[in-house]
Amino acid sequence: MSSKKSLLAALVASLMCCPLAATADPIYNMLFVPDGFDATRMNNAGNVVGTFNDAAAIWTGTSVISFSATLPNSVGYAINNHNDIGGSLGNGNAFSYVNGVVHDIGALGGWYSSYVRGLNDSGVAIGVQFPQIGEGWRGFVYNNGSITEMGTFGGDWSWLNDVNNAGVAVGTASLPGPAFRNPERAVVYRNGAMQNLGTLGTGDFSEAWAINDAGQIVGWSTTSPDESATIPHPFLYQNGVMSDLGSLGGYWGHAWDINSAGVIVGDSDILTTEGFGSHAFIYLDGKMVDLNTLVDRSSGWEMVSANDVNDAQQILGTACRLGTCVKVRLDLISPIPEPSTWAMLLAGLALAGLARRVRARRLFGPLLLLSGLAPLAASADPLYTITVIPIDGDIMGINNAGQIVGGYRGRGFIWDNGQITELPTLGGPWSRATGINDNGVVIGDSASGDVTRGFVYENGNIRSVGALTYWGSSYAKDINSSGQVVGRSEDPDGPTEAFLYSNGHITSVGNLYGFGAAAYGINDHGAIVGGAWRDVNQPTAAFLYQNGTTIDLGSLGGQGSWAYAINNAGQVVGDSTVGGATLVSHAFLFSDGVMHDIGPAGVDSHAVGINNYGDVIGWYQAQIGLFGRGFLYTQGEVVDLTAALELPFNYALVEVNGINDKGQIIGEICSTDGFFCENALLTPVAAVPEPQASALLLAGLFAIGLRRRRARAPAPT
């Protein structure tokens, strides 16, 4: 260890038992990566590889060197100390660019797609390949023209994240397990042999992300099978032992890189009532330090993650301020800092306040390390704040008190101002909550014996709504202020029927044409909406049931329509096909006896919710195969919520699930590749703007926590 690092370690250790001063000079200078440069890894010279103007590139700290002529349409992921790089070519093949020679690795392996994730000083490249559909991805090692495919621990997939100069690689491999939930283990891969590093405690999941030349390994692991993959702990593996590095006072963390001296960087959640839900850390000589205590905070930039550290102790990470997140390089200001510099070294560990349990998701690459954030205004006078709902599951309903319900970990839940209450089941292994009224009465579905039944949860008690047939299942979809519940009841030998559950009795409603129906919304006057089948396997008709009479609401010129919600003014929203036999649907608002097309022009759209002021939420899909984008229809104007939110690059509001009379909206924000998503609550802090101000409707900030996105169906059946 150098004298600089020795002094650094000694000062850190001494401050653990000394009072902290109120102010301190920064230890690190924050250098911003140029706009448009997507930074990924860094070598010991501080040169950063990434992607710039659709080609792999290197940023030296003063200039950008582009490989657009040699490697057009490429992406840079890995760099060694000779400034050789690796990544992915425009054809989807992995590549290494060593000593001025391009090696198209993917073409040799015949893979569907692949990319290099690590490159040592001898030119050994490691990464991951994606074979043809139906096969799991695999890690690989490329050395002198030879490709070795990594196996698994009996599961479906594996990948490699880093390789040291001895050619020892680390990554992750899966074990046998249920579909889409294979347990995974951190792995060391050398000379074709795999070593399982295990987990912390009795956890089911661990991933190794970096290895230094001394063989020290860092990554993350869960500590209990009950935690699933949602609460990772950072670890250091050395001498055959995996050690938990702790956190910055919160619940979770990740260790992303380690240098030759054993200095580790990563991220951890913190206890805070403001700012960001996670901070970058540096870990050395047994102590975890918040990097925000080592930089100048007067500019307002906050270090939320650190993914790379070199032997000069430069750090590559992400900093955020007022809704904008950028890559930065931290450089030590002086080799030997003055003692006064360290006065606030551990101030970040003393943060106090309301604990926000921000759950981490299993990550797939350091490019995606934008972390979940607590609410923070995007400007001096924001119209909305955005709150991350730390649930690894679905949020499905909201009432006027801002209480949110949904399902996660196989249980329904209520989220109330940061507090989570899990709901019981009807005796089966799972439940989920789908709605909540202003009295706090919750509805949902639960396993009950061999069937699924809708339920009502009130005052700590759960009861089934039953079904229209003895062997049938039921699903509760909406509840009004009087506690009346609507949904659908399914019989194995008969049609699906819409039901009304009122005063302890379940009855069939809305079966307009005799071939079944499903109800999705009810207002406080008892008016019910949904869809009724016109014939077996034929398009449905949106219906309105009130005062014992069911009417067909018509369509927008197509053969089918569906209604999802109704407000107390009798306005109904849903979707309808247009243009004869086409499958394209448009969102509609049914008001004063007329069905109005309200979706964005020229695209497939669906309206799913409406409040008592006539504000409508929905989503649209501009192109088949792409995720949807949420929209708001208010005062005759359509607002694209993604554009209005000014989300980080490559993220979108892809789903909206509810809106209340305060204008609060719940939904889901995802990376546009669909791998990583976070639930969110949008809360207005000012009156609803006039139409001319609608472009600024949801100005706010967000950085994304991560979770794998489920597939979405365009309409219910």
Residues 591-623 have pLDDT tens digits of 999 999 998 877 889 999 999 999 999 999 866
Provide the pLDDT for residue 250: 82
Contact 245, 264 (CB under 8 A): yes
Euclidean distance between CA atoms 314 and 453, whole angstroms: 57
Does residue 13 fall inside a structural domain? yes
Euclidean distance between CA atoms 556 and 266, whole angstroms: 53
Q: What is the mean pLDDT of the chain?
A: 81
Residues whose CB is less than 8 angstroms from the CB of residue 134 and which lie 6 or more positions away in sequence, other chains included: none
Residue 24 reports pLDDT greater than 60: no
- Per-residue pLDDT band for 368 (boundaries 50, 70, 90) equals very low
Residue 412 reports pLDDT greater than 80: yes
Contact 653, 640 (CB under 8 A): no
Euclidean distance between CA atoms 154 and 318, whole angstroms: 36
Using the structure block, give the residue that is written with the tokens 């546009």.
672
The more confident residue out of 613 and 12 is 613
**What domain range includes position 264?**
1-27+247-252+259-363
Q: Which of 104-118, 192-206, 346-360 has the lowest mean pLDDT?
A: 346-360
Provide the pLDDT for residue 393: 84
Comparing CA positions, the residue from 79, 25, 9, 73 lying closest to residue 50 is 79
The mean pLDDT of 187-216, rounded to a whole number, is 94
SS3 state at 45 = coil
DSSP bridge pairs for 194: 189
Does residue 285 fall inside a structural domain? yes
Euclidean distance between CA atoms 283 and 343, whole angstroms: 17
- Give the predicted TM-score (pTM) of the model: 0.50
The more confident residue out of 558 and 569 is 569
Does residue 329 fall inside a structural domain? yes
- Per-residue pLDDT band for 362 (boundaries 50, 70, 90) equals very low
The more confident residue out of 226 and 309 is 309
Does residue 430 fall inside a structural domain? no
What is the share, in percent, of the chain residues with pLDDT greater than 90? 58
The mean pLDDT of 236-257, rounded to a whole number, is 93
Provide the pLDDT for residue 587: 95
The more confident residue out of 493 and 57 is 57
The mean pLDDT of 265-273, rounded to a whole number, is 80
DSSP 8-state symbol, 12: H
Distance of CA 437 to CAs 273, 399, 422, 512, Å?
Answer: 28, 6, 17, 27
Does residue 333 fall inside a structural domain? yes
Contact 542, 572 (CB under 8 A): yes
- Long-range pairs of 421-430 with CB within 8 A, sequence gap ≥ 24: 423/457, 423/462, 424/457, 424/462, 425/462, 426/453, 426/455, 426/462, 426/464
DSSP bridge pairs for 196: 187
Does residue 287 fall inside a structural domain? yes
Number of domains making up the chain: 1
Residues whose CB is less than 8 angstroms from the CB of residue 273 and which lie 6 or more positions away in sequence, other chains included: 353, 354, 356, 374
Does residue 583 fall inside a structural domain? no
The mean pLDDT of 224-232, rounded to a whole number, is 69
Q: Is residue 644 left, alpha or beta, with left meaning phi > 0 and alpha meaning psi from -120 to 50?
A: alpha
Residue 204 reports pLDDT greater than 60: yes
Does residue 275 fall inside a structural domain? yes
Provide the pLDDT for residue 493: 82
